[in-house]
Structure 1
């Protein structure tokens, strides 16, 4: 009996350590591959608890192996946007300019009632009040309301503001995303001018560079903990 208790305590702390090293995300925020690894770790850790004849090392090694796999995948994702899209997919725009993208709803296998329920839970009741509704890779729904309707309602004050757009990543970990550059209707000359204007010695020094929702170039250098604009 004491042996079983001792084995359970060891596997418990190993599982806690593995999940702790995976990061601080909540279950609802896990990427698909992270959720799979978390489920597998719980299953593998429970097997030596149920069968005392199984060597303890047979439960520890698979858990540590999955932890290493998760860390490797996370590091590779930071370096390559293509790998990130391959493993986690990419966000899907379900509503744009107050109009539902029916084709994308069908592709994501989401019915209109489910979408309207999510909107209501987020405090929105009219489709025309929403500029964008984005289904993130974690399954969470992000909502960007119409700029005229954000608190305090600017339309009530008679203030006209330009509509904010989706931020577009142009540089990630020192690499230029040419596809996003074209989507933003920007040229390499424009990007090079932004780099020169902000006294950036090389694109490789930029950890992230993007066109924010107001159309401004925002960047953060690899060797800086502070963001610059």
Structure 2
């Protein structure tokens, strides 16, 4: 910034000679106002950038993975897995019939699996075990960013069956669940379950959910109710 000042020789010092006195002075006030405005603008821009970074929709971190595998009679089973790598959550949408889908959420961060079966007004919880971590590992850490479709081979697919006993006495409120599970089980009763070798002859299996993973493993999870 250049500043020019004209000097006047009309002022005479007591000693008798003309002395040049500045007609204009450096605008300190204007300079400080300009610097303050620039600083304020910089702070506003940085604050807005930080806010937009925090409020960026989490959907940008989601990836949809489609898994297709033939069932035992050769018909194609279509599943959709929504992978949230940022929150370590994998949500399976399992088609049991046309326009009828059950939902299974693997909350890896909190070590929980939540089942929301079709035609049921309840959700069912259980703690993750090592095989569960192994099944979803390929989606969260390996294949999710490489592939969006998995077509499993019928000859190579391993099929397993699990039985879960519903603990009716250990009902929990949906509001007490972690955020990934709250929206899933809103306005539903939530029950804990436990692994078992089978329901036994005195118990009936009420429903089953088939889940297939990219590791060529399909698990049929069947539920039955334990005595009160």
The answer to whether TM tops 0.5 is no
For normalisation by structure 1, the TM-score amounts to 0.22
Q: Which one has more relative contact order, counting CA pairs under 8 Å at least 6 apart?
A: 2
For normalisation by structure 2, the TM-score amounts to 0.22
